[in-house]
Structure 1
Amino acid sequence: MTVQAQSSRFGHSLPLDFSASLTISDDPTPRQTHADAPLLSAKRVGSDVEGKAIRECSIPDLPPELWTEILSYLPPGSVRKMIGITRFLFEQGMDEIYEEVEMVGYVNVGLKVMEQTRHPSIAARVRKLYINPAFLPVLDTEDAKTWDDNRIRKLEIDAFLTMSLNVLTTCPHLQELTVVLHDQYIPELFSTYLLKLMERVGSQLHTVTIKMTCYSVISVCRAFFQTLPNLSRLAVNIPKGRYEPHEPDARQACRVLAEILNSTAGTTRSLVFESVGFSLSHLFLKLDKFPFLESLEVRAKYGHNTLKPGTHLLSFIRENNSIQHLIIRQPLDLFPLEATPPRDTMLRLIFVPLFALP
C-alpha cells in the first residue's frame, strides 16, 4: 500500500515516494528513497491508479548551449529563480549572484560581503568591483573637519580596508572596476588603499569607469597612473558637484586625467567621456594618439564650455583614424547647465544621440 498526497504546485495526486514524503508499503523489500536517487538524472514514475509497477525513467538534461539560448530570451535575473533545476543553471545563477562586489559601507553589509567573498568558491565568481565609499564624509561639513580626530572610526575603517584588500586580491577573474567619488573628503588612508588595490589587481582589469568630481580626481589620481597595462575600455565621468572648482583645480584635474589616459593609450580600444561643466575640449587637446582605438563616445553639451572649442575634439578624431564607432550625445535640458541641479537629478541625466557613426 502506498499513501498518496496532493501536490499543490502541479494540482494532481503524486505517490509520496516521488514527493519525498513517508511511504507505507506491504512489501518488506527496502525501496530506494528520493533522497538516495541521483539529483536530476533519474526519477520514479508510478501509476497506482492503473495498478502498474513503479519503474525507473531516465530524464537527461538539456545541453548547455540550449540552456544558454533559452536564457537569452528571458529577462535579466531570471536564472536566479532557476538555480534548483539543473547543475548548469545552478552554476549560472551563482555566477550572476556573486558577479559583482559592492563596497559601499564598512559595517554590517560591507563586512558580510567581504566575509562571503573570502571563500575561494565565491571569489572565483567575482568579475566586477563597485567602489562607492558612503562612509566618507561630505566636504566642508563638521564630520569632515573632525574625521581625522576620531581615532576609533579610523581604526575600524582601516581594518575593513585591509580586510577588503586581502579579499579582493584573491579574486582571479576580476576584470571590471567602477569608482564613484563625489564631493567627499578623501583621507590619506583611503587614497593609499586605492593605490595598493590598483597595484595588486590593476593588471587584471580590462574595463575601468571613473566617476569623480575634479577634487576627487586630484586626490586619487596616482592610483590609476601606470597601473592598467591591459586596459581595453575606459570611461571617464566628471559630474557637476556642489562646489564649482577653481580654475587651477580644473586645470590640474585635466592634466592628471590626460596622464592617466595617455598611460593606457597602447591598449585602449574604447573611450567614453561624460561631463557637465568640465571642459573636455582641453582634455582632448592633451591626449596622445590611441593606435588601437575603435570606439569613442562623448556625452556632453556640444558647443557649451564642455566641448568648446569643438576643433579639439575634431582634431582628436582625425588623429585617431582607427575609430570605427563614434557617438556624440548631449543631455536634455532638464535644468540650466549654469545652475546647480539637485543631487538626485544630477545622477539621472538623460543623454540623447546627437551624432552617430556608423
Structure 2
Amino acid sequence: MAAPDLPIELWLEILQYLPRSALHGMLGLSRVLFEVVMNDLYEEIRFISDDKAMLKTFDQMKFAGIASRVRRLLIQPAFLPALEERTGLLPKVQDRLSSRWWFNKPLRISPARPVVTFNPLGTPEELEVSRNKALRAATGALALCHNLQTVTIVLYDHTATPQFNLFLDSLWQSPTIGVSNLRSLSIRTTPAKLPRLLLPLVESSKMFVNLEEVTFDITPSRLELAGNDHNRAVDALKSFFKAFGNNLIAVNLSSTRLHLVESVLGSMQPLLRLRKFELLTSLSSKQRWQPENISKFIANHASVLEHLTIKPYARRTVYHESDITYARWINPGINDATRPSAFAGVVFPKLKSLDVGLRDPSETAPYTWPPALPSRSHSSLLPNPSIFAPNITSLTLTDVSLSFPRIRDLVNQLAEDRSGGRILEKLNIMVETLTPPVFDILASKLPHLRMLTMDFNIISDLEEVRTYREPDRSLEFRELIRARRYPRWKLQYLRLTSVGFQCSARHPQPTDMGVVAESLPSGVELDSSYDCYCHMALDSPVFNRHMIHHH
C-alpha cells in the first residue's frame, strides 16, 4: 500500500525553504509536487527566442493537460530583426547612444552607410526560416490555451515582420483566447509600434468580454519619429479606450511624452468600472504641462477610485524630470488660484491605496543626491489625507525624504478622527533621519498600523541631523530603541532600508530591524529581501528572506 501523501499546506511550507532550482527535481515524489512542478513549468510561457527549446515547449503545449496550465504569456521577440537591419542603414550615431556620459564627447558623424555584419547564427534567409517556424508553432500551440489570463507584449526597435503580424492577428482572433479568460493586457513599446499592436485588438473588441486591466508603457525609440507617428499613437489609444472603456477596472499609463498622455486622458469618457489608476509621466513645466486634462480625468473618477498611483516621471527615467509645477499641483497654497483644478481640490471617498511621488517646492535647485539637510521648509507636501481620502488604508510617499516635523504633521493628520472612516494599516515613507522619536509617534498615533516600510538617509539618536558628515550614531540609536517598548502596537511587518555604499538601490538593514523588533510584540515579520543584484545582495545569506521575529 502506498504511503499517504503529506497535506498540500505542509508541502508548500517545505518548499518555502528550498531554492526554486530544487523544485523540478522533486517532480516524482508525490502527486502534490507533480502538480506544483508542472504549474511552475507551464503557468507562464515566455516567447523570447526561436531556438530548439522554445519549439519543444510549443510542441508539448499541444497536449491538453499542458495547454490548460498556461495562465500568462510573455511575447518579447528578440529574434526579430532590428530596424536598422531591415532598412540596411545605420541610424545616426547620436540616436544610438543613450548614455548621458556621451553628451560631452565630440563626435564626428559620418553619413548613413549600408550595414555589413557577420551573423554566426546563419544567413538572413536561414534566420527568417527559423523565425517563421517558431511563429507558426506558437500560433498552433497558443490556440489551445483556453485558460490564458494575462498577455504581455514587449516590442521596441525590432521589425514587426509580416509573419509576426499574422501571429498577433491569429492570437486576437482566436475564440479560445478572446472569449474565455483573458483579463490583463500589458504592452511595452514605442509610439510608432503602438497602432499596429492596438488596432487589431480594437477590431476584435467584442471577443474580449473579460479584459479588465491594461498597462501601456510607451518609451522613445532609438530612431527618430516620423511626422505623424505621435498622432497615430494618440488615435490608437483613443480608439482602444473607446472600445474597451466599459470593461476596464485598472488602467496603467507610463510615457515620457506628456502630450500623448494629456491628449488621451483629456478626450476619454468616464470609465464606469474603473477602480485602479496609475499614471507615470514627466509632469513638469519643461514639457509645457497644462494640468487641466489630467485633473479632469482624476476628478471624473474620484468617486469610484480605490487605488491611485501618481509619479512625476515615467518608468526607468529619472526623478528630476518633475519640478515645482508638479509640487503646486499636488498641494498648492491655500490662496493659490490653481487650487480648484489641482489634485488637492479632489475628494476620494472610496480610495484605499495611494502612492504619490512627492516633490519639495522649497528645493529650487535641480535635485541632487543626497538631498540637503534639513529641509528649508516644513510645509506639508500632501493635502490632509483625513480630508481628501477618509477611507485610505495604505499610503506610500516616495522621492522626498521627510523631516521629523513633516512626519509628525503627517501622522497627526492620519490619526485624526475620520468620521467612521477606515484605519490606516500600511505606511511606506522616506525619512531624512531614522530616530527613536519616529517610532514613538507612529506607535502612539497609529497603533493599528500593521505594515511599515521606511527608507532612511541617516540613522541617529538625534531628532534632526544638520549634515551628512556628522559621525555615525547608529549605536546610540540602538541603545535608545532597546530601552523602549510598544506593547499595544499591532505591527506585523517591518522593513527598514538605506542606500547601499556601492549600489544606488536600497538595501535592507537587518540589524536595525532586529533591534526595533525587540521593542514590539512577538511575531513581527522582518523583510530582509534585496531588490537588486549587486555583490552585497548576492553574498547575503538573507537575499530573499522574510523572517518572523520571536523574543
TM-score (norm 1): 0.70
Residue identity matched to 1:207: S
- Residue in 2 that maps onto 1:193: 167
Task: Measure how far apart 1:272 and its partner are.
Answer: 0.8
Report if the CA contact (8 A) 1:266-1:291 is conserved: yes
In structure 2, the residue matched to 1:184 is: 158
Percent identical:
23
Which string of whole-angstrom CA distances, capped at 9 and with x for unpartnered residues, describes residues 124-164 of structure 1? Answer: 21111110111222223356679xx9665444433332221
Q: Which runs of 5+ in 2 are unaligned?
A: 90-113, 115-122, 322-354, 359-381, 383-388, 393-551
Whole-Å separation in 2 of the counterparts to 1:167 and 1:299: 35
The number of aligned residues is 287
Among 278, 283, 288, the residue aligned to 1:302: 283
Asked whether 1:134 is paired with 2:78, we answer yes
**Structure 2 counterpart of 1:266:** 246
Which of 199, 208, 215 is the aligned partner of 1:222?
199
Match of 1:160 in 2: 134
1:202 — aligned with what?
178
SS of aligned partner of 2:49? coil
| Deviations, residues 227-268 of structure 1 (Å, cap 9, x unaligned) | 332101101000122124245211110110121122111211
Task: Name the aligned partner's letter for residue 59 of structure 2.
Answer: E
Q: Give the aligned partner of residue 26 of structure 1.
A: none
**In 2, Cα distance between the equivalents of 1:313 and 1:192?**
36
Q: Identify the residue that residue 326 of structure 1 maps to in structure 2.
A: 308
Whichever of the two has the greater Rg, that structure is 1
1:93 aligns with 2:37: yes
What are the Cα deviations for residues 288-325 of structure 1, in whole angstroms up to 9, with x where unaligned?
A: 22111100111222226779322211111122231111
Q: Distance in 2 between matches of 1:93 and 1:108?
A: 22
Deviations 1:191-216 (A, max 9, x none): 22201111112333101100010111
Evaluate the alpha carbon distance shift between residue 230 and residue 88 of structure 1 in structure 2; reply closer, same or farther with a 3 A threshold: same
Q: Which residue of 1 aligns with 2:143?
A: 169
In 1, Cα distance between equivalents of 2:73 and 2:285: 34
The two structures have a TM-score, normalised by structure 2, of 0.47
Runs (4+) of structure 1 exceeding 6 A deviation are none
Name which of 289, 292, 303 aligns with 2:270.
289
In 2, Cα distance between equivalents of 1:126 and 1:300: 33
Q: Work out which of the residue numbers 232, 235, 251 in structure 2 matches 1:255.
A: 235
Give 3-state SS (helix, strand or coil) of 1:105's partner. Answer: coil
Structure 1 stretches lacking a partner, 5+ long: 1-36, 42-59, 338-351
The code of the aligned residue for 2:165 comes to S
TM-superposition CA deviations, 1:167-193 (whole Å, max 9, x none): 111112111100011012222322222
SS of the residue aligned with 1:214? Answer: coil
Tell me: CA distance 1:268–1:257, structure 2 relative to 1, closer, same or farther (3 Å). same
SS of match in other structure, 2:237: helix
SS of the residue 1:141 aligns to: helix
Alpha-carbon offset, residue 80 of structure 1:
4.5
Query: For the structure 1 residues 72 and 151, does the alpha-carbon distance in structure 2 shift closer, same or farther, using more than 3 Å as the test?
Result: closer
Q: Deviations over 1:62-95 (max 9, x none)?
A: 4334545x27965884754654443212211210
Contact 1:307 1:313 in 2 (8 A): no
Deviation of residue 277 (structure 1)? 3.0
2:357 is aligned with what amino acid? L
* 1:311-353 Cα deviation digits (max 9, x unpaired): 211111122231111111234864986xxxxxxxxxxxxxx94
SS at match of 1:208: strand
The one of the two structures with greater contact order (alpha-carbon pairs below 8 A, sep at least 6) is 1
